[in-house]
Amino acid sequence: MRIRTLRARALAAGPRTVDLLVALLVQAAMTMPFVVPRAPELPEATWPAYGLTTLTVVPLIARRRAPVTVLVAVLATGALYRLAVDGPGQPLPYTGLVALYTVAERSSAPKRVAIGVLTAAGVVVSVGVGGNELRELLFSLFVFAAAYAFGRFTVTRKAYLRAVEDRARQLELTRRIEAERAAARERARIAREMHDILSHAVSLMIVQAEAGPVAVRTAPERAEAAFDAISETGRDAMVQLRRMLGVLRDDASAPDSPRSPQPSLDGIGALVERVGAGGGPAVGYEVTGEARPPGDAVGTTVYRIVQEALTNVVRHAGARTARVVLDHGSEALTVTVTDDGRGPGGGAGHGLTGIRERAAAHGGTARTGPGPDGRGFRVEVIIPHARPGRARDEETGVVR
């Protein structure tokens, strides 16, 4: 652990500091034959010999800036040491190995090949001139080849690390993009929920409030019903908004609170009654076919579609009657909302768009247009049942 820490600190200090440390390490290795006690028959360790040995190490400080020049200088100084000084020999050509390693790591391919061939030839000549055995020649060629191979391995390792870092950056960027997209989808979902809740509640309250004063003069009991409907509509909107705001607050102190408003098919009957109470259009509700549990997500979607369609009836159609039909077919769930008014005109664009988006999220379709015989307006939504092998995400309702 301590060695890794020292290495990390050295690398953080910069390449020049690393080169200086390498040169000092090589100098320490080159000094050992001069300080270790020697047999009397071996060459004497003199200061000129030690000075020339140090001179072979000094070029390593500039090995990154001029690797080829440093290698040539090191080999030339080493040859001068062998020819001019009868000093202690070295167990390994440390300076030459470090310089060749740097050439293999930092030089271009033509330079590497040329220097490798010249270095091998120099080793052969040096060993031959010294009259040494074949075993020493093979060992020298091996260690220089190993230094060259380690230099190329370092290049490969650095390229691999760069590729891993690039991939990590790409994955992080992809993760951020996906998180932003998920946040955008969630904002759009919350915006649709808020639109449906507020638009429906406010529309009903306006219609019922406008009908209240007229009913006070003509039918007091109807006025009382209108005001009761206003109160009930406001309370229902507040409950749903409070649940949704609880999602936005992400209150950890209330883990049992629902994540979002979850009305279902069972609530459509009460929704229809609220719309028809206190001055709104008379709304009929019919359920046909054999009921099949569509799942919470689909149930919420159907409720919101009916809610938005009835909101458009109240706000824009000027209708007297409306009808909601929920048909549980063998292949799909069909929701139809019709009225006898003048249609939404140009004021319900966002609401109808929201209906189409909700239907498409479950693999369904939405059609809007004139009602039967060209009178009134009709909204028809078809949501297919999830087939075996096609899982529906209960969080989003998307069929996959």
User: Do 45 and 108 belong together in one domain?
Assistant: yes
Residue 215 lies in a domain: yes
Confidence band for 12, pLDDT divided at 50, 70 and 90: low
Q: Please check whether residue 90 lies inside any domain of the structure.
A: yes
Say whether both 39 and 99 belong to one domain. Answer: yes
Same domain, yes or no, for 123 and 221?
no
Chain CA centroid to CA 141, Å: 50
Residue 8 has pLDDT above 70, yes or no: no
Burial of 52 (0-12, 13-18, 19+ CB in 10 A): middle
Residue 165 located in a structural domain: no
368 plus 293 within the same structural domain:
yes
Same-domain pairing of 100 and 231: no
Same domain, 96 and 181: no
The residue that leads in pLDDT, 233 or 260, is 233
Which H or E run contains 73? helix 67-84
For residues 321-357, one letter each, b for 16 or more C-beta atoms within 10 angstroms of the residue's C-beta and e for the rest, the string is ebbbebebeeebbbbbbbbbbebbeeebeebbebbbe
**Number of structural domains found in the chain:** 2
DSSP 253: T
* Average pLDDT of the residues in 375-387: 87
Residue 244 has pLDDT above 50, yes or no: yes
Instruction: Give pTM, 2 decimals.
Output: 0.47
Task: Give domain status of residue 141, yes or no.
Answer: no
Q: Is residue 180 part of a domain?
A: yes
Where does the pLDDT of residue 296 fall: very low under 50, low under 70, confident under 90, or very high at 90 and above?
confident
Residue 354 to residues 64, 196, 385, Cα–Cα distance (Å): 65, 9, 21
pLDDT at 19 over 80: yes
Same domain (yes/no): 189, 337: yes
Same structural domain for residues 190 and 66?
A: no
- More confident of the two residues 200 and 310: 310
Decide if pLDDT at 319 tops 50. Answer: yes
Say if strands 332-339 and 321-328 run parallel, antiparallel, or are unpaired. Answer: antiparallel
Q: Evaluate whether residue 395 is within a structural domain.
A: no
- Report if residue 66 sits inside a domain: yes
Residues 168 and 342: their CA atoms lie apart, in Å, by: 58
Q: How confident is residue 382, by pLDDT bands cut at 50, 70 and 90?
A: very high
- pLDDT value of position 1: 53
The amino acid occupying position 160 is Y
* 255 and 362 belong to one structural domain: yes
> In CATH, what number is assigned to the domain containing residue 241?
3.30.565.10
Condensed to tens digits (0 to 9), the pLDDT of residues 196-230 reads 777 777 777 776 676 666 666 666 666 666 677 77
Question: Does residue 43 sit in the same domain as residue 112?
Answer: yes
What confidence score (pLDDT) does residue 255 get? 45
Residue 291 binned pLDDT confidence (cut-offs 50, 70, 90): confident
Q: Are residues 224 and 356 in the same domain?
A: yes
Over pLDDT 90: what percentage of the chain? 9
- b/e 237-255 (16+ beta carbons within 10 angstroms → b): beebbebbebbeeeeeeee
Domain range for 342 is 175-384
Query: pLDDT tens digit string along 149-189?
Result: 898 999 899 899 999 999 999 989 888 888 888 888 877 77
Residues 127 and 26 in one domain: yes
How much is the pLDDT for 380?
A: 93
- Specify if 376 maps to a domain: yes
pLDDT band of 396, cuts 50, 70, 90? very low
Q: Rounded to an integer, what distance in angstroms lies between the CA atom of residue 390 and that of residue 362?
A: 12
- pLDDT digits over 31-46, tens only? 888 878 777 777 777 7
